[in-house]
């Protein structure tokens, strides 16, 4: 009989490409991975790994068994999902990730509602950029990931995942209150050709979107500052150090001295949640999606009510 835990270890090695990657994905030590694979080789009576440089690679037998392992583990997850669905109870552990502004803007409301409604459900959450969240769901390290793409730049989604829309997140330009365009009803990106820009980190999906969008308008931007978090970017704007694109999600409270002006192009992010298709029937997945959608509606309801400018002094608006 093939041991399921050892098949899971082999599958992790095939997906991550290294013993250290498999150990990280399974949250065990590298020696534990090596021991499991050594035992699996003894069980099947064949070499599954060979040394390759400083690492290892799968043999033909290893690749063959890893393909079967992926299918077996998928069927096991389907069986668990069906049993949970048949029982109809929201129980067990649910591992979620979200990009930073969604973790701050959606998770407190959604996860608190889940815990109150389903006290037997154990929740584990973390902040991850969208591409890493998707990768975690594909690998099985996460059950759900809240991710995003932009109106003009979709996020590639691998096969085997299901998604549900959470929020259409409008984005404006954030300006210092003394900026010449601060009093406008709307602006065009081309009007910021000479401004300094505050953006996300190099290589992040949102940064790549901003470069793609500005360059499509004939702007080669001056990038003065980088910050992963919206509120760090807004703090730099408040200090008069540049302008930035600021989505609604995670924007509040606005710091003093910042004005947001809508873009004529009506820029929006699409925020959605993804999970594996073989876990689709799990009641915990469905409960989490409902809670995230309810939190998204609450955020969307703020779109019509908050002021576009924070006062130059005193307490920030909420």
Q: Report, as an integer, the average pLDDT of 103-126.
A: 94
pTM, rounded to two decimals: 0.71
Decide which of 316 and 142 is more confident.
142
Q: For residue 271, give every residue at least 6 positions away whose Cβ sits within 8 Å of its Cβ, in sequence order, or none.
A: 102, 106, 146, 147, 148, 165, 166, 167, 168, 169, 249, 296
Cα distance between residue 193 and residue 263, in whole Å? 14
Q: Report, as an integer, the average pLDDT of 121-129.
A: 93
Least confident of 1-5, 147-151, 222-226, 238-242: 1-5
Q: Report, as an integer, the average pLDDT of 80-101.
A: 79
Is 70 exceeded by the pLDDT of residue 66? yes
Decide which of 25 and 202 is more confident.
202
Q: Which residues of 169-196 are buried (b: 16+ CB within 10 A; e: fewer)?
A: bbbbbbbbbebebbebeebebebbeebb
pLDDT, tens digit (0-9, with 9 covering 90-100), for 258-317: 999 999 888 899 999 999 988 888 889 999 999 999 999 998 886 544 444 444 433 333
pLDDT at 28: 81
What's the maximum distance between 2 C-alpha atoms anywhere in the chain?
75
127 falls in which pLDDT band (50, 70, 90)? very high
SS (H, E, C) 75-138: HHHHHHHHHHHHHCCCCEEEEEEECHHHHHHCHHHHHHHHHHHCCCEEEEEEECCHHHHHHHHH
Cα distance between residue 190 and residue 214, in whole Å? 8
Go through the chain and tell me how many residues it has: 318
pLDDT, tens digit (0-9, with 9 covering 90-100), for 224-252: 999 988 889 999 999 999 999 999 887 87
Least confident of 60-69, 74-83, 263-272: 74-83
Enumerate the β-bridge partners of residue 247. Answer: 171
Nearest to 251 by CA among 225, 227, 230: 230
pLDDT at 315: 34
85 falls in which pLDDT band (50, 70, 90)? low
pLDDT at 288: 96
pLDDT at 197: 95
Instruction: Give the mean pLDDT of the chain.
Output: 86
Q: Report, as an integer, the average pLDDT of 174-196.
A: 93
Helix axes 30-44, 60-87, angle to 10 degrees: 100
């Amino acid at each position: 009989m093939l041991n399921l835990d050892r098949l899971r270890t082999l599958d992790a090695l095939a997906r991550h490409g290294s013993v250290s990657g498999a150990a990280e994905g399974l949250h065990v030590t590298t020696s534990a991975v090596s021991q499991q694979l050594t035992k699996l080789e003894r069980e099947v009576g064949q070499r599954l790994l060979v040394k390759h440089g400083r690492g290892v690679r799968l043999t033909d037998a290893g690749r063959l068994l890893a393909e079967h392992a992926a299918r077996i583990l998928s069927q096991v997850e389907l069986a668990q999902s069906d049993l949970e669905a048949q029982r109809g109870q929201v129980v067990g552990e649910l591992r979620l990730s979200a990009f930073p502004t969604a973790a701050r803007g959606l998770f407190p409301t959604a996860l608190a509602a889940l815990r109150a409604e389903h006290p037997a459900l154990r929740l584990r959450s973390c902040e991850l950029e969208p591409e890493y969240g998707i990768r975690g769901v594909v690998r099985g390290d996460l059950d759900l990931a809240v991710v995003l793409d932009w109106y003009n730049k979709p996020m590639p989604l691998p096969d085997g995942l299901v998604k549900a829309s959470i929020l259409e997140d409008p984005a404006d330009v954030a300006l210092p209150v003394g900026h010449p365009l601060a009093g406008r009803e709307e602006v065009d990106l081309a009007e910021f050709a000479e401004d300094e820009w505050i953006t996300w980190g190099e290589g992040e999906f949102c940064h790549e979107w901003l470069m793609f969008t500005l360059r499509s308008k004939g702007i080669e931007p001056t990038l003065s500052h980088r910050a992963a978090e919206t509120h760090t970017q807004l703090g730099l704007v408040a200090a008069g150090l540049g302008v930035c694109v600021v989505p609604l999600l995670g924007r509040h409270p606005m710091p003093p001295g910042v004005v947001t002006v809508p873009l004529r192009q009506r820029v929006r992010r699409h925020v959605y949640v993804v999970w594996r298709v073989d876990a689709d029937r799990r009641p915990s997945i469905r409960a989490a999606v409902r809670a995230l959608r309810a939190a998204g509606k609450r955020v969307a309801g703020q779109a019509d009510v908050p002021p576009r400018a924070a006062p130059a002094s005193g307490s920030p608006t909420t």
